[in-house]
Amino acid sequence: MRITFKPMAVAGIAALFTAAVIAPALAEIKKPANYPTRPITILFCFGKAGGSAQSIQALQGPASKIMGVKVNMLSKPGGGGLNCLPDFAQTPADGYTILQHIDALPAKYAAGATDLNPAEDLEPLLIMNVAPSGLYIRGDDKRFLTNGKPDFDKVLAYARGGEGKLAVSNINVPMELVTMSVLEKHFGFKAKQVLFAKPAQRYGAVIGGKLDILLEQPGDVSKHVEAGKLAPVLSIWPERFKIAPDTKATGPDYGLKWSPLLRFRGLFVKKGTPKEIVTYLQAVFKEAYNTKEHQAFIKRKSLDIVESYRSPADAKKELEGAIATYAKVFKELGQKVRPGL
């Protein structure tokens, strides 16, 4: 019915994202003739401090070492994840510009907001992050604490005090917006959502006390949680996260029977890029993903709650599935859907 993923320890949830087997690192990757001879740029549509930037930074070093050229990253945020696409469209299909994007791309295509069909117009290199979401409060927000611990029941009581009373820091991306709509419907409240393109603004609005609650993925805010600036108050998942066992979850604690939408991030090149370059980049980033350096990042950012690696073939299938799933979700919510879906 909706995008579903197989968690590490949750049985009985149908998985759209098939389990992936990560092969040992390649001993040697054959380079195409005359490629690469200059730096490669990874272009992305989100802020420099968020999860997309962090996921690129984690692969930059390993990939640069493997290829022997510098890997740069270029951020062009805004437009709910669409602002960088015109720039990408103007680049040649030569493998020197890689697009990093997230689940928002198939969602935006399903909604008719972009004509770029990620399942047809792009060549996937890999999907390297898959992550669930949660709600976070300011670490010392006494309104939502019981005996010093975050208490979602207090958040609910506050939210039900009037339409728009609970102020949510969010992003203009379909996954988060749909997730928030599901929570509002299930728990019986209507929040005021303030949408930020830049992660620092999104997090700072809650840390600074201007807004009440943040919807985000655990790894993206892990340093703020460790510092006590933010605290998890609800896990949007069929069971409690192992990294936050005292935090209530939507499934076991509140009876929400819903397979949550998840964040995924992948790397893509243009359709028409020479096959030998595509194959080379797929092998490079698979090996970069498997390095100890990158695996430490995966663990540190809690990106092992759900298996994160997806092969190019699986990534294509999952993009196709995501388009169909979001089209169905949008129809259920009475939202605009691309004709023919």
Chain segment 48-66, per-residue pLDDT in tens: 888 899 999 999 999 999 9
Q: Do residues 124 and 315 make contact, with C-beta atoms less than 8 angstroms apart?
A: yes
Number of residues written out for the chain: 341
Tell me, yes or no, if the pTM score tops 0.85. no
Q: Do residues 62 and 294 make contact, with C-beta atoms less than 8 angstroms apart?
A: yes
Q: Which amino acid, 199? A: P
CA–CA distance, 131 with 102 (Å, rounded to integer):
11
CA–CA distance, 329 with 229 (Å, rounded to integer):
34
**Rounded (10°) CA dihedral 315, 316, 322, 323:** 160
Correct CATH for 40-131+262-332 of 3.40.640.10, 2.60.40.10, 3.40.190.150, 1.20.1250.20: 3.40.190.150
Portion of the chain with pLDDT greater than 90, in percent: 76
Per-residue confidence (pLDDT) for residue 62, from 0 to 100: 97
Which residue is associated with the tokens 């898959």? 130
Q: Is 258 buried (19+), middle (13-18) or exposed (0-12) by CB count in 10 A?
A: middle
CA–CA distance, 23 with 126 (Å, rounded to integer):
13
Calculate mean pLDDT across residues 15-26. 40
Calculate mean pLDDT across residues 177-195. 94
The tens digit of pLDDT for each residue in 67-121 reads 999 999 999 998 888 999 999 999 999 999 999 999 999 999 999 999 999 999 9
Per-residue confidence (pLDDT) for residue 23, from 0 to 100: 40
Q: How far is CA 48 from CA 52, 55, 123, 188, in A?
A: 8, 11, 24, 35
Q: Is 340 buried (19+), middle (13-18) or exposed (0-12) by CB count in 10 A?
A: exposed
Q: Which residues pair with 266 in a beta bridge?
A: 101, 127
Q: Distance from first CA to last CA of the chain, Å, rounded?
A: 15
The tens digit of pLDDT for each residue in 268-325 reads 999 999 999 999 999 999 999 999 999 999 999 889 888 899 999 999 998 998 898 8
In this predicted structure, the answer to whether residue 4 has a pLDDT above a threshold of 70 is: no
Give domain limits for the chain: 40-131+262-332, 133-254
Which residue is associated with the tokens 């108050």? 233
Per-residue confidence (pLDDT) for residue 24, from 0 to 100: 41
pLDDT band at residue 179 under the 50/70/90 scheme: very high
Per-residue confidence (pLDDT) for residue 49, from 0 to 100: 80
In this predicted structure, the answer to whether residue 17 has a pLDDT above a threshold of 80 is: no
DSSP for residue 304: T
The CATH class of the 133-254 domain is alpha beta
Mean pLDDT of the chain: 90
Same fold, 40-131+262-332 and 133-254: yes
Per-residue confidence (pLDDT) for residue 244, from 0 to 100: 92
Max Cα-Cα span within the chain: 65
CA–CA distance, 149 with 304 (Å, rounded to integer):
25
